[in-house]
Amino acid sequence: MSIFSKLFGSSSAASEEDNNKESKTSLPEKNISIDEQFINNFKKNGGKFLYCENSSEVKEQFENILQENDWYESEVLCYETSLFDILEDNKLVFNKISDPKFLFSTCENLIAEEGSVLFSSKQIKQHKPYELPTNIVILAKTSQILGFKTDGLSAIKKKYEGDYPTNITAIKYFEKAKEEDFTQYGSSAKNLYLLLLEDL
């Protein structure tokens, strides 16, 4: 049984109301798995996490997100043909769009150290984070969780072997800073949902 099954069970969304102090003081970083470290840091950054055991649960959770935000029949920014079926099934427009409600994409990796999502031009073309829609829905797999950003860069290098993507970008902040925070200077906060599919 995976760490996600133990923590969340099937089709359960991570609570947005979790006490951040508890996640900071629960266990020393070195004693927790990178999966748990990613979950803690991702939620601390304001991300919304939905664990899925199979593709049926991915579809169900995706529909829940659409319903929660009233995004049915909306325009969506999506560049990956592998995701078009789920958009078509939900009557979402992804061709010739002018005002997308959200970005729907995969990612390169999930970085446990900072709870961030690593993208490249394969998912977001040449867009800078501030040019992307405020709302983002990511479909990723548990095998994509890596410890550090350097691990993510190494994985990209290995995956593409010479045909390297450009515009490698990490998005880390998923909610507006509650007060002035110099560490977020120059970043644009995103309302980010992560559909994490178990593949280990």
The distance in angstroms from the start CA to the end CA of the chain is 10
Query: 200 falls in which pLDDT band (50, 70, 90)?
Result: confident
Whether pTM > 0.85 for this model: the answer is no
pLDDT, residue 154, reads: 96
Q: Whole-angstrom Cα distance, residue 100 to residue 43?
A: 25
Question: Tokens standing for 120?
Answer: 């490249």
Residue 194 predicted with pLDDT over 60: yes
Residue 107, phi then psi, degrees to nearest 5: -150, 175
Q: What is the pLDDT of residues 95-147, one digit of tens each?
A: 999 999 999 999 999 999 999 999 999 999 999 999 999 999 999 999 999 99
Question: Tokens standing for 9?
Answer: 């069970």
Q: Whole-angstrom Cα distance, residue 13 to residue 9?
A: 9
Q: Contact, 78 vs 32, CB < 8 A?
A: no
Q: Contact, 139 vs 106, CB < 8 A?
A: yes
pLDDT, residue 31, reads: 80
What does pLDDT average to over the chain?
A: 85
Q: What is the pLDDT of residues 25-43, one digit of tens each?
A: 444 456 889 999 999 999 9
pLDDT, residue 158, reads: 95
Which has more confidence, 163 or 181?
Answer: 163
Q: Within a 13 Å sphere around the CA of 183, how many CA atoms are in the beta-carbon half?
A: 7
